[in-house]
Amino acid sequence: MVTLIAAALLSSCDHSGNEQAPPVSAEPVRPASLREADPCSFLPESASAPYGLHPGQLHKGEVVRSCMWPAEAFSVGVYINWDPQVLVNFSQAYPLPAGEAVLDGVAVILQKSSTIPACGMAFLAERGTVIEVVSGDQPPVVADRACDRVKMAGTEVIRRMREQGVLDTAFTAAPTTR
């Protein structure tokens, strides 16, 4: 079942290359651009181990770089997408609105799957590039648990992106209230 969830979460990704993620060092890596960044570095072992997540698997495609961390009963994935179709694909995979949130100063949208207990969040990280953090559970768990996990993982992802200098504040600033 975990394989089914992982397959559903990875359905929009080109699986042309799978790699074991390198260990995350204490010193943040500074990629040349967000599209060159390693999404596995956005959720370090210190943040994934408490959930029982196995090491992340890096996937590189023509319009996406992703990392998937499986666990016994659920999985977590992080995607760097520069495909213009990405928000349509995201809305199809996660069609049920689950609200909006501000995570570490970044406004994100949350949506749930209508077919499996899964949740995803998305935000524009720079012009033309969307970050997704997704999580899925095995039934009969409800997607609310996956949404809580997405928020916690998403906060860590945002912090790591900021440390690596790949978060464009012009696109990610949360709206201010007047």
Q: Residues 113-134: pLDDT tens digits?
A: 999 999 999 999 998 999 999 9
Alpha-carbon gap, residue 122 to 129, rounded angstroms: 10
Contact 152, 78 (CB under 8 A): no
Between residues 161 and 9, which one has the greater pLDDT?
161
Per-residue pLDDT, averaged over 78-100, amounts to 94
Q: Which amino acid is at 169?
A: T
Q: Report whether 120 contacts 93 (CB < 8 A).
A: yes
Full-model pTM: 0.80
What local confidence, expressed as pLDDT, does residue 162 receive? 94
Length of the chain: 178
Q: How far is CA 128 from CA 35, 75, 80, 83, in A?
A: 10, 26, 11, 8
The CA dihedral of 22, 24, 30, 35, to the nearest 10 degrees, is 50
Above 90 in pLDDT, residue 166? yes
Structure tokens at 123: 């935000």
pLDDT over 70 percentage in the chain: 79
Residue 34 has phi, psi (to 5 degrees) of -60, -40
Distance of CA 88 to the CA centre of its chain: 16
- pLDDT at residue 6 is higher than 90: no
User: Given this model, what pLDDT does residue 28 score?
Assistant: 57
Q: What is the structure's pLDDT at 12? A: 38
List beta partners, residue 135.
76, 119
Confidence of residue 72 (pLDDT cuts 50, 70, 90): confident
Instruction: Please state the separation of Cα 35 from the chain's center in Å.
Output: 14
Residue 168 is predicted with a pLDDT of 83
Neighbours of 133 (CB within 10 A): 29
What's the mean pLDDT in 43-50?
A: 84
**Per DSSP, which regions of 54-149 are E strands?**
57-60, 64-70, 74-81, 96-103, 106-112, 118-126, 129-137
